[in-house]
A and B are shown apart, each in its own frame.
Chain A
Amino acid sequence: MHVTSPVRTPLVTGGKTYADVTEDICKQVEGKPTKEWKVAFGISLAVLAYGTACLFWTWWEGLGVWGLNKTVGWAWDITNFVWWVGIGHAGTLISAILLLFRQKWRTSINRAAEAMTIFAVICAASFILMHMGRPWLAHWALPLPNTFGSLWVNFNSPLVWDVFAISTYFSVSCLFWYVGLVPDLATIRDRAQNKVSKYIYGTLAMGWNGSSKTWARYEYISLILAGLSTPLVLSVHTIVSFDFATSVIPGWHTTIFPPYFVAGAIFSGFAMVQNLMLVTRVVYKLEDYITFEHIEMMNTIITLTGSIVGVAYLTEFFIAWYSGVEYESYAFINRATGPYWWAYWAMMTCNVISPQLFWSRKIRRSITWTFFLSVVVNIGMWFERFVIIVTSLHRDYIPSSWAMFYPTMFDIGDYIFSFGLFFTLFFLFSKYLPVINMAEVKAVIRTSSEKLPKKISGVSKADRLASPAYKKDAE
């Protein structure tokens, strides 16, 4: 059991009891969909439908519907892929690394963050498929037994490493998420009013009975998975960065990429978690679970990783000059002053300057600012990938081939598809699964919170006594 000093700010405010936690979280799952949810889900379905239509046309006609050309062979497709993979990183970081570091504040946000991870990886994977000229042959990238003789994949290719990295990451993330869900699913099963949900949640709960043994196993498996996931947090984006770092293209061929990409991934992932959680918090009235403390903590991480990214940008520039390689220097000068200067400066502003605003405690604890800056960070991180991919390719070694990339409505439409997919999945999750890990949150609330003075618990004793909601565990 988690023991903290009574003078510490509680991680969950509002003087929540175990029953409150169960009630607050489960009521979203058990109740009828709210109007807001229906509207939001409807919109995301509509977006998904539009995106699917665009995607269908992309596959029907060929990748020529995009704005790519002989010089710029990747643009929005791989930008989106890296962006989504990056976003996915926050979930694993929160659930694995913070677990190992015993950062208990993670409990309120890890469920949603992990769900976000999985959905983001699905979106990222959709771009892997999408960017292929012949996606129906995508399985050739897997080392499967085949009838072509001993025809294997090319183990030298970073794209193959990517396939391994992403699939491993996806499966471990799913597993971790699902294991965490089991006790909560059992809670819902136990509370279920109708047969259908009892059956479905019962099946998903896999016979969880809440015994000490199951809890012990739960703890073990969580730790083991955390141990397994931790290197993945670092490896996945490292390998994604190898897609560029192992190439010969100036601006890609950079040894700094692995740490720089991982930092960027966490940076954008946390920003995305902020965006999603700030909305969920209000809509589902979870202010007591996701407190200003959480928001502030995450903003601190955003500032830290944003600064790492900023240093990386400057280092790249310095190395480009210091190396004396003409092409490398040109690639970076071209980024900042060439035809895509606006993308570069958008990236610099959004990623390096904007997170520094969080040095101010006021901004750090402001919901509006946090939401706004998180959006800005995600825009900036999208531009970072765009800048790396497009501005390096469009002017590489041979000037005769230099070209520009302009997106078409299908580049945009296929990106919109991934948003539709992401939000559809996220809304389904937020309706049918508990958005906060009840079991773990219960471990961090103060059972004796009622004894605390109001300035700490946020609820006066009189209120507590007057409100029936606080009487549950007395019964």
Chain B
Amino acid sequence: METQTKRYWKGLEELRNDETFIKNAHNEFGSFESTDSSQNKSIVDGIGSDRRDFLKVLGFGVAAVSLAACDAPVRKSIPYINKPIDTFPSIADWYASTYAEGGDYTSILVKTREGRPIKIEGNRQSSVSGGGVSARAHASLLALYDVEKLKGPKKGEADAAWDTIDKEISSQLASIAAKGGQIRIVSSTILSPSTKAVISDFTKKYPTTQHITYDANSLAGLVKANEISFSKAAIPSYDFSKAKVIVGLSCDFLGTWLSADEFSRQYVKGRKLSSAKGGKRDMSRHYQFETILSLTGSNADYRAAVKPSQEGLVALALYNKISGAAGVSLGAEVDKLIDKAAKDLKAAQGAALVVSGSNDPNVQIVVNALNSALGSYGTTIDLGSPTYYRQGNDTAMNELVDGVKNGAVSAVIFYGCNPVYDHPRGAELKDGISKLSLSVSFADRAEETASLCKYITPAPHYLESWGDAEPKAGSYSLQQPTISLIYKTRQAQSSLLKWAGLSEDFYAYLRNFWKNNILGGSDFENAWTKALHDGVYERAGASTASGAGTPAGVDAAIIAVKNTYKSGSGIEVVLYEKVGMGTGTLANNPWLQEFPEPITKACWDNYASVSQKTAQEMGLSQNDVVKVEVKGKSLELPVLVQPGQANGTVAIAIGYGREKAGKSGNGVGVNVFPFAQYKAGFISFNAGEGTVSKTGSTHKIAQTQTHETVMARKAVLQEARLPEYQKDTKAGRYFPHVFTSEGVKSSTEISLWNGYEKPNHSWGLVIDLNSCTGCGSCVISCQAENNVSVVGRQEVINRREMHWIRIDRYYSSDAVEDLKGLEIASENPEVTFQPLMCQHCGNAPCETVCPVLATTHSTEGLNQMAYNRCVGTRYCANNCPYKVRRFNWFKYFDNDNFDYHFNNDLGKMVINPDVTVRSRGVIEKCSMCVQRIQEGKLNAKKERRRPVDGEIEVACSQSCPTDAIIFGDMNDPESRISKLLAEEKDNRAFTMLEEINVKPQVTYLTKIRNKDVDAKAATATEHAEHGGH
């Protein structure tokens, strides 16, 4: 059989039995016997032809090509090989820290995911900031991921090594000090006691050093006034919650003055109402006299517009009324209101508070006298517990500029400040810096001041740093790094220590400082750990409310006020700080640039705002570019017509016109700091009289809301006056009726739909219009939480901002029925703020019209959006009666037309990994932070329990400094929201557009103003109540 087996040859060689064949027969892969000689040669090197190499190269090639072809978005995510202890992927870590920039203070909790901070929340343990976070503090997170920051120290234009720079700076400092040359450390307000200790250590080493503090928006006058009045050079604590009558004199205490979050919380506490049986039916009354319509003024019950030149006179008039001296006349309308305010103040003796935003010590002395006469000290004002939010000294700064100019100062170290930009004498400083023998800046970028310095030794972002703060005597808070250093930066404190020849370990220094000065006690370790964990340490009994003696220097101040404040006839120019942008330090922050200013709803610009009447008289209309000239300096900027502003004034916001902030901030608006003036040694934002002339060109201001009034739509906005509310808790409510064949019915009784079962939870929000001050903190909080895109100025002009929550601002109108008239705001309007997000309608109009079921209803009352299913017909957005849906008109990430933080890898680190970044062509909207709800539910489920009320918070409700937004489960009768709704149902609670019966999950509580009911208002209310159909 075997012989029958066919024989096959591998080739002729085998058949012939060649010698070569026999030799290689054992070698399966034929001719490769020469591998020894060509061991290192392969096809990769272009020589040899190894089959395996060929396959390797082929394999590599295929793999490389296919890898290159996939655009896998995860290419840079590297899994943990060794998981760090205490870090769990997808589980957030929280660190308590402190936001203390330029004297603005908030105790915060930082949420980090996989080692990167992605969200800032308020720390409710702090009695100072109380859990509220301002829009600016929220947005400060994004500055951490600013790709335009310096990546390391710089000597002039060139990069340098820390060692070299340290050596050079130390030796120069030493030689300057040896020669007796003057060294200055210039900073904005430093709240950190340990940093101050570092500075004093530095001063010990270089004794010619002086620390100069200045604030871009200075309150040195207030400190001075207290020094004169009470021999206490400090700013007292205020307690707005204890005040029954509050009078604000050009003082934006809810927006930008001192500690606005704290004041907002106190202020609203005094204004919350409850319709429950025996509930609080009384609220404080707030008068405001101011030039611009500020956030504070827009919340006032009574408000009058006064010119900056009357600012002192108002205080004086009020003082005279209280003290019974002869009055000062400011025109009939203002006088009337001053009379009324004085009467109320007097009646509220001991529970009154007058605050002034003036930086003129004389005005503040009059205000001190006023408060003293009203018995405010010891009740609403506490001199015994001073605050440190503003420590600037205008005189010292003035001297510094002189010193730099005339060469008296040899070295300046700029720390957390940018005086070339934000000081009125910045231009002079600019020329002087080059003359200094040493100039150093700790700025994180080569901004206006730093770029002129010889050295820039960039300090890291506060979220990368150690630190502490003492905002108020006895209240301390700690700052800890939440991410390791992103760039080769070093804390300013470390640098100073190093140059002073000490150990640069600031952490050790800080601990030591706290051990010796703050925590004390025997068990320091535990106390330190607890303080670090809590973020705050409040020394018990540190503050005792203390009264004050009779203020001194009042008579002199009155004479000075009378001499200084004289109304002229010209146009007065006044500068102010915007709630979002502040003094411009965060100008390169696209979130803040796109943050709509609460009153004007304008973003990406500053502008010359003028009153309606002034605009009319001067023939100006919105967006006209005007040239504003004051004392030889001029600026060109667009006009914004602002109801409520004093006639004959032009107001311009500071914080714009940065030149070296970065691509988001550069060239946005104009810089008005040069318009600020030194008046008797104090910086005044009242620039004085100027001229305004039309240039003929126009520049469109980007506004997120362009229609100013609510058109008397009671179903949108419901409000009443306090006396009406006290009489009837339903006051101001609007009950729509529908006439049917079966008689008159309420609109909620009629529906086409069966509704949805909500067997488990029913998530909802209650928004108290009386508590909302309109500050906009929720807008940025939501933006950070939900990865909301920034779209830029042009797209805001195109009305395509993406914010998921907006705050509608309505001015009242004088017209009653006339529709055209209703479009025009009153000259001095009442203002209402109404936060508006997706209302999560039970009968959602958006859900029925989506052709592909991309938006559906959950069993928990949420209106859900499946981005992946959306084909982008936008019918849902059209059919949304609240207009809260947002469409992705473009691709907003990785797109050079939208070069904000979504366009670079560092900026993208701020993205919340729990929330999808939406692609082009899909609709998005408020999800009621469904990712947080899910997380909360999962946590509860793991522990086999139901979520506890308050355990889950949505971004807007969590950040609200005034607790105006309350989130919770409406199916849980014990939840705060259910209890509140039970109290306010049929009283103040209403849903927007009730007559279309879309059954929102969001309920509003009526806005109540503490105003007297006059005959006219009474008839108007009557009329409205009988209206409807």
The CA-CA distance from A246 to B753 in the complex, in Å, is 13
Q: Is the CB of B878 within 8 A of A333?
A: no
Q: Is the CB of B716 within 8 A of A160?
A: no
Interface segment among A100-108, A126-134, A290-298, A461-469: the answer is A126-134
Q: Which of B834, B871, B889 contacts A141 (CB 8 A)?
A: B871
| Least Cβ–Cβ distance between B874 and chain A, in angstroms | 4
Within 8 A of B (CB), among A103-134: 131-134
Cβ-closest chain B residue relative to A66: B889
Q: Which of A73, A154, A156 contacts B874 (CB 8 A)?
A: A73
Q: Is the CB of B871 within 8 A of A137?
A: yes
Q: Is the CB of A153 within 8 A of B852?
A: yes
Is A163 engaged at the interface, CB distance under 8 Å to the other chain?
yes
Q: Which of A132, A393, A397 contacts B993 (CB 8 A)?
A: A397
| Least Cβ–Cβ distance between B187 and chain A, in angstroms | 41
| Least Cβ–Cβ distance between A401 and chain B, in angstroms | 4
Within 8 A of A (CB), among B775-812: 795, 798-801, 806, 808-810
Known contacts A134-B921, A399-B709; A141/B808 CB under 8 A:
no
Q: Which of A62, A137, A153, A158 contacts B853 (CB 8 A)?
A: A153
Q: Is the CB of A133 within 8 A of B879?
A: no
Which residues of chain B come closer than 8 Å to A403, judged between CB atoms? 706, 799
Q: Which of B799, B820, B871 contacts A134 (CB 8 A)?
A: B871
Q: Is the CB of A70 within 8 A of B878?
A: no
Q: Which of A163, A246, A398 contacts B716 (CB 8 A)?
A: A398
Is A248 engaged at the interface, CB distance under 8 Å to the other chain?
yes
Is B710 engaged at the interface, CB distance under 8 Å to the other chain?
yes
Within 8 A of A (CB), among B839-895: 845, 848-853, 869-875, 877-879, 881-883, 885-891
Known contacts A62-B888, A330-B711; A73/B851 CB under 8 A:
no
Is A64 engaged at the interface, CB distance under 8 Å to the other chain?
yes
Task: Mark interface residues in B390-431 (1 if CB within 8 Å of A CB, else 0).
Answer: 000000000000000000000000000000000000000000
Task: Mark interface residues in A398-435 (1 if CB within 8 Å of B CB, else 0).
Answer: 11111100000000000000000000000000000000
Task: Mark interface residues in A30-53 (1 if CB within 8 Å of B CB, else 0).
Answer: 000000000000000000000000
The CA-CA distance from A325 to B801 in the complex, in Å, is 31
The CA-CA distance from A62 to B836 in the complex, in Å, is 27
The CA-CA distance from A153 to B808 in the complex, in Å, is 35
Which residues of chain A come closer than 8 Å to B891, judged between CB atoms? 62
| Least Cβ–Cβ distance between A335 and chain B, in angstroms | 12
Task: Mark interface residues in A328-370 (1 if CB within 8 Å of B CB, else 0).
Answer: 0010011001000000000000000000000000000000000
Which residues of chain B come closer than 8 Å to A23, judged between CB atoms? none
Q: Is the CB of B890 within 8 A of A61?
A: yes
Task: Mark interface residues in A69-84 (1 if CB within 8 Å of B CB, else 0).
Answer: 1110110000000000
| Least Cβ–Cβ distance between B220 and chain A, in angstroms | 39
Is A140 engaged at the interface, CB distance under 8 Å to the other chain?
yes
The CA-CA distance from A69 to B713 in the complex, in Å, is 23
The CA-CA distance from A440 to B819 in the complex, in Å, is 59
Is B1029 engaged at the interface, CB distance under 8 Å to the other chain?
yes
The CA-CA distance from A68 to B921 in the complex, in Å, is 13
Cβ-closest chain B residue relative to A69: B799
Q: Is the CB of B873 within 8 A of A133?
A: yes
The CA-CA distance from A186 to B716 in the complex, in Å, is 67
Q: Is the CB of B852 within 8 A of A74?
A: no
Is B998 engaged at the interface, CB distance under 8 Å to the other chain?
yes
Cβ-closest chain A residue relative to B710: A399
The CA-CA distance from A62 to B874 in the complex, in Å, is 13
Which residues of chain A come closer than 8 Å to B888, judged between CB atoms? 62, 133
Q: Which of A73, A158, A330 contacts B887 (CB 8 A)?
A: A73
| Least Cβ–Cβ distance between A156 and chain B, in angstroms | 5
Cβ-closest chain A residue relative to B891: A62
Q: Is the CB of A396 within 8 A of B849?
A: no
Which interface class (under 10, 10 to 19, 20 to 34, 35 or more) fits B?
Answer: 35 or more
Is B707 engaged at the interface, CB distance under 8 Å to the other chain?
yes
| Least Cβ–Cβ distance between A332 and chain B, in angstroms | 11
Which residues of chain B come closer than 8 Å to A175, judged between CB atoms? none
Q: Is the CB of B853 within 8 A of A154?
A: yes
The CA-CA distance from A153 to B851 in the complex, in Å, is 6
Is B56 engaged at the interface, CB distance under 8 Å to the other chain?
no
Is A151 engaged at the interface, CB distance under 8 Å to the other chain?
yes
Q: Is the CB of B849 within 8 A of A247?
A: yes
Q: Is the CB of A133 within 8 A of B801?
A: no
Is B592 engaged at the interface, CB distance under 8 Å to the other chain?
no
Is A63 engaged at the interface, CB distance under 8 Å to the other chain?
yes
Is B705 engaged at the interface, CB distance under 8 Å to the other chain?
yes
Is A67 engaged at the interface, CB distance under 8 Å to the other chain?
yes
Is B920 engaged at the interface, CB distance under 8 Å to the other chain?
yes
The CA-CA distance from A62 to B716 in the complex, in Å, is 33
Q: Is the CB of B800 within 8 A of A134?
A: no
Known contacts A132-B921, A402-B707; A151/B853 CB under 8 A:
yes
Is B996 engaged at the interface, CB distance under 8 Å to the other chain?
yes
Q: Is the CB of A154 within 8 A of B711?
A: no
Which residues of chain B come closer than 8 Å to A398, judged between CB atoms? 716, 808, 836, 881-883, 992
Q: Which of B705, B809, B851, B874 contacts A133 (CB 8 A)?
A: B874
Task: Mark interface residues in A158-198 (1 if CB within 8 Å of B CB, else 0).
Answer: 11100100000000000000000000000000000000000
Cβ-closest chain A residue relative to B920: A62
| Least Cβ–Cβ distance between A445 and chain B, in angstroms | 49
Cβ-closest chain B residue relative to A161: B851
Which residues of chain A come closer than 8 Å to B852, judged between CB atoms? 140-141, 153-154
Known contacts A131-B873, A134-B922, A398-B808; A71/B849 CB under 8 A:
no
Is A326 engaged at the interface, CB distance under 8 Å to the other chain?
yes
Which residues of chain B come closer than 8 Å to A337, judged between CB atoms? 820
Which residues of chain B come closer than 8 Å to A159, judged between CB atoms? 849-851, 873, 875
The CA-CA distance from A454 to B930 in the complex, in Å, is 84
The CA-CA distance from A37 to B767 in the complex, in Å, is 67
Q: Is the CB of B800 within 8 A of A133?
A: no
Q: Is the CB of A133 within 8 A of B922?
A: yes
Is A199 engaged at the interface, CB distance under 8 Å to the other chain?
no
Known contacts A70-B801, A400-B806; A133/B921 CB under 8 A:
yes
Which residues of chain A come closer than 8 Å to B848, judged between CB atoms? 154, 156-157, 246
The CA-CA distance from A131 to B871 in the complex, in Å, is 10
Cβ-closest chain A residue relative to B919: A134
Is A443 engaged at the interface, CB distance under 8 Å to the other chain?
no
Is A228 engaged at the interface, CB distance under 8 Å to the other chain?
no
| Least Cβ–Cβ distance between A388 and chain B, in angstroms | 12
Known contacts A157-B851, A399-B710, A399-B713; A68/B889 CB under 8 A:
yes
The CA-CA distance from A230 to B806 in the complex, in Å, is 49
| Least Cβ–Cβ distance between A394 and chain B, in angstroms | 10
The CA-CA distance from A125 to B439 in the complex, in Å, is 68
Q: Is the CB of A326 within 8 A of B889?
A: no
Q: Which of B819, B850, B922, B1029 contacts A330 (CB 8 A)?
A: B819
Known contacts A62-B890, A159-B875, A325-B1029; A248/B996 CB under 8 A:
yes
Which residues of chain B come closer than 8 Å to A68, judged between CB atoms? 874, 887, 889
Which residues of chain B come closer than 8 Å to A157, judged between CB atoms? 848-851, 875
Is A215 engaged at the interface, CB distance under 8 Å to the other chain?
no
Known contacts A70-B877, A398-B882; A160/B871 CB under 8 A:
no
Is A224 engaged at the interface, CB distance under 8 Å to the other chain?
no
The CA-CA distance from A326 to B707 in the complex, in Å, is 18
A-B contact pairs, 19 of them (CB 8 A): A61-B890, A62-B889, A62-B891, A67-B798, A70-B877, A73-B875, A73-B878, A133-B870, A134-B872, A153-B853, A157-B875, A159-B873, A248-B879, A248-B998, A393-B878, A398-B883, A398-B992, A400-B808, A401-B705
9 closest cross-chain pairs (CB), A and B = A133-B872, A133-B921, A64-B889, A69-B799, A400-B808, A73-B874, A401-B883, A159-B851, A324-B1029
Binding site for A on B (CB under 8 A): 705-707, 709-711, 713, 715-716, 795, 798-801, 806, 808-810, 819-820, 834, 836, 845, 848-853, 869-875, 877-879, 881-883, 885-891, 920-923, 992-993, 995-996, 998, 1029
Binding site for B on A (CB under 8 A): 61-64, 67-71, 73-74, 131-135, 137-138, 140-141, 151-154, 156-160, 163, 243, 246-249, 323-327, 330, 333-334, 337, 393, 395-403
